[in-house]
Amino acid sequence: MDSFLIEGGLPLSGEVTISGSKNAVLPILAATLLTSETCIIRRVPDLSDVGFMLKILQSLGAEVTRDGDTLTIRAANISGRGDYELIRKMRGSICILGPLLARLKEAVVSLPGGCVIGTRPIDLHLKGLRGLGAQVEVEAGYVRVHAPRLEGQMIFLGGRVGPTVLGTANLMMAATLASGITVIESAACEPEVVDLADFLIAMGAKITGAGSPTITIHGVKALHGADHEVIADRIEAGTFAAVAAATGGEVTLRGARPDHLGAVLDKLQEAGAEIRRAAGVLTVRGTGSLKPIDITTMPYSGFPTDMQAQLMALACQAPGTSIITERIFESRFMHASELMRLGADIAIEGPSAIVKGGRPLSGAPVMASDLRASAALVIAGLAAKGSTQVHRVYHLDRGYERMELKLQKLGARIQRTPGE
């Protein structure tokens, strides 16, 4: 397994171009299954998760070609059975369930895998599909859904920790071809849901309210091909913003969407970073005078759970006590023990991490446990004195496009070391 070798302690400065959103592109790729016509998807990031999704589409019978960051997909003749060996590797693969059911009236999809950051059941996905009239069975590691006819209904999709993003996406895609009107109450409001809705509308769907807790879908008989550009990845942008703040550098993020980063930018400013906004450009400068922060993760537009680990790495640099509370996933503090190997002072008390910052960090070998934990360890390694080796960076490759190359352009001393 590959690792990153980092020589830290340098302020990083320069420009980085933000790639297309991982969390937006996966359901958009699944949505191409809703039509037999050709779809063109632009600004597709080169990520291992995207590669897995493309293999899943091809295993279902779709034709896929890639030219740079542009994908051309034609799902003219497809089957409704998802391959276990592919789907088990990625949580986001469950979003093929809704479009397969809508298009073929039945589907068999294995239960998905992904990062080990806590229990992420798909009960709300299945509740939504049942609400449209589907018969659902879960057995032997597979989900089987069948519906000769999908009927629009009002469906409440709220869960224990708030709305479900992929569940909202799955139900929205299934409802596009249902009869009548579907109203999703307590829908996820994330920008990635809005981007999916924009793509579906370009395909001929009738959707209103995306980005709000109530989404209304008027079913249509068929969808057609479309040409769509994926939004910028707000989590990648937030991660590089944290790099600037943690290292005391200045990084300009080209293509970033400040309107998608409100809670993150607010906390970075609270931590002492300077933020400058301009059309299509966001600049973050670390002042070298960091302050402690208090963060609680929440559904959008609150502070995103996908930025919690990165801001914990930043909090390690800030003199004083920071409190970070995780309300979305119960097992998302596995990076804390690895940050402590670098010299951080962190105590976990229930859903909260108490970070006593300001202690100098020193390089050490660390092990990444999941995608965003990997990013946190890279940030800490860049800020620490000496050498840090981050093992298992295949997690990073799931959600960051050539991260080490982008960091090198900012002046980082970071190299990928091939695994055995």
- Which residues are the active-site residues? 115
Q: Answer whether 27's CB lies under 8 Å from 2's CB.
A: no
Closest by CA to 50, choosing from 7, 18, 95, 93, is: 93
Q: Cα separation of 56 and 85, whole Å? A: 10
Q: Angle at Cα 351 formed by Cα 345 and Cα 355, nearest 5°?
A: 20
CA 137 to chain centre: 28
Q: By 3-state DSSP, what share of the chain in percent is helix, strand and coil, each rounded to 5? A: 35, 30, 35
3-state secondary structure of 166: helix
Q: Cα separation of 385 and 363, whole Å? A: 6
Q: Answer whether 95's CB lies under 8 Å from 49's CB.
A: no
Can you say whether residue 90 is alpha, beta or left, with left for phi > 0 and alpha for psi between -120 and 50 degrees?
Answer: beta
Residue type, 386: G
Q: Cα separation of 326 and 333, whole Å? A: 8
CA 154 to chain centre: 27
Q: Phi and psi (nearest 5°) for 19?
A: -80, 175
Q: Cα separation of 170 and 143, whole Å? A: 14
Q: Cα separation of 307 and 333, whole Å? A: 12
In whole angstroms, how far apart are CA 82 and each of 108, 120, 164, 353? 6, 20, 22, 39
- 2: buried, middle or exposed (CB in 10 Å: 19+, 13-18, 0-12)? middle
Q: Answer whether 24's CB lies under 8 Å from 49's CB.
A: no
